[in-house]
A and B are shown apart, each in its own frame.
Chain A
Amino acid sequence: MSWLHAARQRLRDLFAGERSDRELAEEIAHHLELETERQMREGLDRAAARAVAYVRFGNPTTITDAARAERGSLLTEGSVQDLSWAVRSLRKNLGFTALSLLTLVLGIGACTVAFSVFNTVLLRPLPYRDADRLVFIRERTSRGELRPPSFPNFASWREQTQSFAGVAAAMHPYSRTVSVSNDAEPARLVSLEITRRFFSTLGIGMALGREFTDAEHAPGRSRVAMVSYEFWQKQMGARQPLGIIRLGDDPTPVVGVLPPGFTFLQPADIYLPHEGHTGTVRSSHNYQVVARLKPGATLAGARAEMTALSRSLKAVYGTETEAVDTDVRPLRDFVVANYRTLLSIIFAAAALVLLIACTNLVSAQLARGWHREREIIVRAALGASRARIARQLIVESVLLVISGTVLAVLVAYAAVTGIKQVGGALVPRLSELSLDARVLGFAVGVAALTALIVGIYPAFRLSRRDAGQVLRAGRGGSSVRSSVWRALIGFEVALAVVLVIGSALLVRTLRNILSAETGFDSHGVVTAAITPAESDTARFGEVVTALRALPGVEGVAFTSNLPLQWGNWSGPVRRPSDPTDRDWPAMAGFRVVSPDYFTVLRQPLLRGRAFMPSDRVGAPGVAIITPGIAEKLWPGQDPIGKRIATNYLFNDWLTVVGVAAEASSWSMPHGTQNEIYVPLDQRPGSVGQQLIAVLRTAGGPDAVMAATRAKLRAIIPHSPAQVGTIDDRIAQSAADRRFGMLALTAFGVIAIILAAVGIYGVMWYIVSTRTHEIGIRMALGATAARVRQDVLSSAAAMAATGIVLGLAAGAYATRYLQASLYGVSRLDPRIYLLGTGITLGIAVIAAYVPAWHSSRVDPMEAIRDT
């Protein structure tokens, strides 16, 4: 009953693998003993007889593996056995396994992290109900610019459209002084004023309490507030009932708490009803408008309706409105507009890293295959089919990839937690970052692809050998052709070059932005925003004296908004001769400043005079303008003494007394950030909710910042100051580039490391297959230095092919980076030279250890060895 016997044998093997191993070991020991005895009978001494017995037997480990492989393979068609063979094989080569796992973790991990960012920011819907029905609406001017709408235009849209279930607006957030109870320390917090039914339009339910009623929005009503979940938790101690907080001096009841994590465009702590004191100027630009499409309404339909409405509003209001049309787009497109290209580039970079990782694994498998040749030959000679050997090699690769993926996901999880903290301030929505089901699915897909690439090609190559060919040809004969290596190395070097070029371009961009010409000296300027109450105006003299007395402070001035913050207050400018029924000829920002402002910022006055103490309330209205306004309004003429009007000052006529250099931030072209400056002493009522002190410091700004905060707290205790530096704000304005730079640099470094590992491995392999040849050359008189140099130059040659390819690919790929660059050409030869230098250097360094090893070959041993 042979099947019964076979079944028993298989069962026994299944449960007694270890016992079988012991039995086999005992058999082999017995065998070697018998053979030794025979050789001794032939006349050898015991030691020699033992040696011959081993030679005749073959490698016991290989034999044991092969015997093990034969055992029980009918039971499961070999898959369990393939798996245990793979585990053993990976455990036996810990170095190879560890390096492969590291490569996989870097490759798959980088891809997973990049995709999770891409997914969170670009793919996931915004965290509002039916977020794809939300649109963002802006005015389009006759110059084609998109601008935030004015309140009257918004109100007309809200009343006269049919496409929307709701239209709502928020102002720009600004900071206020808030204390959570009568005796609590006041704090400076971000508040956002909103129109009625703002949250129901967004589709946000309250965590606690309720949204404002329409009555609470009515003019003349005393104020109520809603707070963010985070504010309620941290500052209010999650108290219930919600009670009353103080906004400045006003007690304000809290009626609701927003759900955790809620933000609209920018985070805010406190939300206030706005309808009671709305803007009235149709040509100003200071609201963010969001609308929800009615069920059944389409985006195209809404656009058509809004265009028609804008035209009829323009017909009615003429020059009072700047909007000739509107721009209606999905809210998500607006939120992530600047990030789509950048994140796509980052994602592509991660894909390149993965490709490099795959290339490394393929070459490592091939090189290792050579060392495993004996094992494979014995198995083939014992009747294992080519398919069977290929399958075992594939199982091994798959096992490697699966373990690598599990590790990569764990690493990605840690990385995501880190990125959330660093990147949350740099990229919108990044604070929502997490590994969701889609990301995990993606990781599995990437792993499957990797396993396919890494498993199949080497398995195919290695299983193709036949025993006779290998035995006849000796060890070196079956080595992988050098063209394969050149292709693999060239490929990964090329990818690394592309990444290095990309990250170098962004590093350069960021440096250019931070050192960009601003029109004044921004370095060392500290700003302190305060919210003065009426009663504080009299104490400004005291504030100036106190701040100027601080050590390290050279000068103090005031301004109505932060330097370089252009556009929050901007509007049209006209001459007396301009007809009021046509578009006004120029646009300008509006700024109220103290007389010392230009001196303190070192912003040059190009013509005319600065403000003087005589420019006070009651004196004739004066203004200082930037050159762009003068060129538009009075080309070729001296603007001093000319008269202008702006809607911010109810069209009072102002006399131009001076021209100051344009202060411009890098993000807009120079010449477009024109401003009108008016004296603070003359227009104290035109300063908005906050006033900003600017301090010129000598030495580091850090000490001055702390001292300023303390000093202001002492003088104006009810309103803590918001203190910062202009340079920090410039850096913050380049946050997207910074994030891109960090990501590309990280991937560039990983790519270089992987390429170095790849070159190292391949050169090591090539050197070890050529030991014989090197031995002969050294026997014929080649010096060690010469041999070393040959290895290094062959590595450099391989890298060179890749570098040429990489430079060409870089020249093409950087076109997608174009829009993110600043002050550097995407084809800047210095960048490409740098990419070449770094990669070539790394290639030579990586090849150095194998090269050194090759020069240590002992000619006699190397020749005898084969």
Chain B
Amino acid sequence: MDRSGELLPGTFEMLVLKGVSLGDMHGWGIADRIERLSGGVCDVQQGTVYPVLQRLLRRGWVVAEWRVTENQRRARYYRLTAAGRRQLADEISWWHRAIGGVDRVLRAEPREA
């Protein structure tokens, strides 16, 4: 069954937020983090991080600034704000609740119904 690229709506935004929270990073780095950390499961097109970053910027959950990388190139780095950190915590606890619920349903035995 080919399910590459499928994500529950809204989860990608959470992953990007998490990606930024692991340390100030540019777009490619964030996409790379998500891909590596998910073991290739969350293998979406890398470009899609940029619209999400724009939305996070707009909501004030991240800020961006241009810096020079170790290779002496200009890159735009994103950093989590305090509001972003709260939002991420909220989303993570929502995710665990949701996953837990789904998981309980999936583990259910016939007699429990």
Contacts known (A6-B59, A30-B75); A471 close to B48, Cβ less than 8 A: no
A30 partner residues in chain B, CB cutoff 8 A: 26-28, 73-76
How many Å lie between the Cα of A30 and that of B72 in the bound state? 12
Listed residue (B45, B50, B53, B59) with the most chain A CB atoms within 10 angstroms of its CB: B50
Specify which of A2, A56, A63, A382 is in contact with B82 (CB 8 Å cutoff).
A2
Q: Give Cα A647 to B47, complex, Å.
A: 100
A27 to B29, CA, bound (A): 12
Residues of chain A with a CB closer than 8 A to B26's CB: 27, 30-31, 34
Most chain B CB inside 10 Å of its own CB: which residue of A27, A60, A69, A471:
A27
Least CB distance from B31 to A in Å reads 8
Residues of B within 8 A of A73 (CB): 58
Q: Are B47 and A59 in contact (CB under 8 A)?
A: yes
Tell me which residues across on chain A come within 8 A of B29, comparing CB atoms.
34
A9 to B59, alpha carbons, bound, how many Å? 9
What's the least CB distance linking B40 to chain A, in Å? 12
Return the chain A residue nearest B61 by Cβ. Answer: A2
CA distance A51 to B35 in the complex (A): 19
From the candidates B5, B48, B59, B63, name the one contacting A63 in the complex (CB within 8 A). B48
From B6-14, B94-102, B103-111, the one touching the partner chain is B6-14
Q: A interface, by DSSP: helix, strand, loop or mixed? A: helix
Closest chain A residue to B59, Cβ basis = A6
Contact B28 A63 (CB under 8 A): no
- Find chain A residues with CB under 8 A from B23 CB: none
Which residues A140-186 have CB closer than 8 A to chain B? none
Q: Say yes or no: A70 contacts B54, CB within 8 Å.
A: yes
Nearest residue, chain B, Cβ from A55 = B45
Residue B21, interface by CB 8 Å: no
Contact B58 A57 (CB under 8 A): no
At the interface, yes or no: A834 with Cβ under 8 Å from chain B?
no
State how many angstroms separate the Cβ of B111 from the closest Cβ of chain A: 33
Contact status A31-B27, CB under 8 Å: yes
Q: How many Å lie between the Cα of A676 and that of B6 in the bound state?
A: 96
B81 vs chain A, min Cβ distance (A):
5
Q: Are B28 and A34 in contact (CB under 8 A)?
A: yes
Inter-chain CA distance A551–B55, complex, in Å, is: 91
A10 on the interface (CB 8 Å rule)? yes
Task: Please tell me if A381 contacts chain B, counting CB pairs below 8 Å.
Answer: yes
Nearest B residue to A62 via CB reads B47
Closest Cβ–Cβ distance, residue A487 to chain B (whole Å): 34
Known A2-B81, A30-B26; judge A56-B46 contact (CB<8 A).
yes
Q: From residue 34 to 52 of chain A, which have CB atoms closer than 8 A to chain B?
A: 34-35, 38
Whether a CB of chain A sits under 8 angstroms from the CB of B92 is no
A864 contacts B by Cβ under 8 Å: no
What is the minimal beta-carbon distance from B21 to any residue of chain A, in angstroms? 15
Chain A residues in 8 Å Cβ range of B54 = 67-68, 70-71
Query: B48 contacts which chain A residues (CB < 8 A)?
Result: 58, 63, 66, 378, 381-382
B57 within 8 A of A: yes
Least CB separation from A30: chain B residue: B75
Asked if residues A58 and B45 are in contact (CB atoms below 8 Å), the reply is yes
Judge if A74 is at the interface, Cβ distance under 8 Å.
yes
| Given A31-B27, A31-B28, A35-B28: A58 and B47 interface contact (C-beta under 8 Å) | yes
Are B75 and A5 in touch, CB under 8 angstroms?
no
Asked if B76 contacts A74 (CB within 8 A), the reply is no
- Taking the complex as formed, is B52 at the interface, i.e. its CB lies under 8 A from any CB of chain A? yes
B50 touches A28 (CB 8 A): yes
> Which residue in A9, A26, A383 is a CB contact (below 8 Å) of B58?
A9
- Across the interface, which residues of A come within 8 angstroms of B27, CB to CB? 27-28, 30-31
A24 contacts the other chain (CB 8 A): yes
A781 at the interface (CB under 8 A from B): no
Nearest CB to that of A37 among chain B residues? B71
- Chain A residue with the shortest CB-CB distance to B84: A2
A445-494 contacts to B (CB < 8 Å) = 468, 471
Chain B residues, Cβ within 8 Å of A58: 45-48
B-contact 0/1 string along A1-27, CB 8 Å cutoff: 011011001100100000000011011
- Which residues in chain A, 699-722, are within 8 Å of chain B measured between CB atoms? none
Nearest Cβ distance between residue A460 and chain B, in whole angstroms?
A: 20
Contact status A67-B50, CB under 8 Å: yes
Q: Report A-chain residues with C-beta under 8 Å of the C-beta of B13.
A: 383
Determine if B76 and A57 form an interchain contact, defined as CB atoms under 8 angstroms apart.
Answer: no
Q: Please tell me if the beta carbons of A27 and B81 are within 8 angstroms of each other in the complex.
A: no
Complex contacts, A34 vs chain B, CB 8 Å: 26, 28-29
Say whether A72 faces chain B, with CB atoms less than 8 Å apart.
Answer: yes
B32-83 with Cβ < 8 A to chain A: 32, 45-48, 50-55, 57-61, 63, 73-76, 81-83
Residue from the list B10, B31, B46, B83 in contact with A2, Cβ < 8 A? B83
Specify the chain A residue showing the minimal Cβ separation from B2.
A472
Q: Which of A35, A70, A471 contacts B55 (CB 8 A)?
A: A70
Identify which of residues 75-89 in chain A touch chain B, using a CB-to-CB cut-off of 8 Å.
none
Q: State A72–B29 Cα separation when bound (angstroms).
A: 25
Closest CB-CB distance, B71 to chain A, in whole Å? 9
Inter-chain contact A2/B74, CB cutoff 8 Å: no
Complex CA distance for A484 and B93, rounded to whole angstroms: 47
Contact between B74 and A31, CB atoms less than 8 A apart: no
**Cβ contact within 8 Å between A31 and B73:** no
Are A10 and B50 in touch, CB under 8 angstroms?
A: no
Distance in angstroms between the alpha carbons of A59 and B50 in the assembled complex: 12
B84 neighbours in A (Cβ, 8 Å): 2
A74 and chain B: residue at smallest CB distance: B58
Write out the residue numbers on chain A whose beta carbons fall within 8 Å of the beta carbon of B45.
56-58
Q: How far is the CB of B25 from chain A (nearest CB, A)?
A: 11
Are the CB atoms of B76 and A70 closer together than 8 Å? no
User: Are the C-beta atoms of B74 and A382 separated by less than 8 Å?
Assistant: no
> Cβ of A71 and Cβ of B58 under 8 Å apart?
yes
Chain B: minimal CB distance from A866 (Å)? 15
Q: Which residues of A contact B6 (CB under 8 A)?
A: 468, 471
Offer 22 A-B interface pairs, CB within 8 angstroms, sorted by A: A2-B81, A2-B83, A5-B60, A26-B76, A27-B76, A28-B50, A30-B76, A31-B28, A33-B73, A56-B45, A57-B46, A58-B48, A60-B47, A66-B48, A71-B58, A74-B59, A381-B48, A382-B51, A383-B13, A383-B52, A383-B55, A468-B6
- Contacts A60-B47, A66-B48 given; 18 further ones with Cβ under 8 A? A2-B59, A2-B81, A2-B84, A6-B60, A24-B50, A28-B50, A30-B75, A30-B76, A31-B31, A34-B29, A56-B46, A58-B46, A62-B47, A67-B51, A71-B54, A378-B48, A381-B7, A381-B48
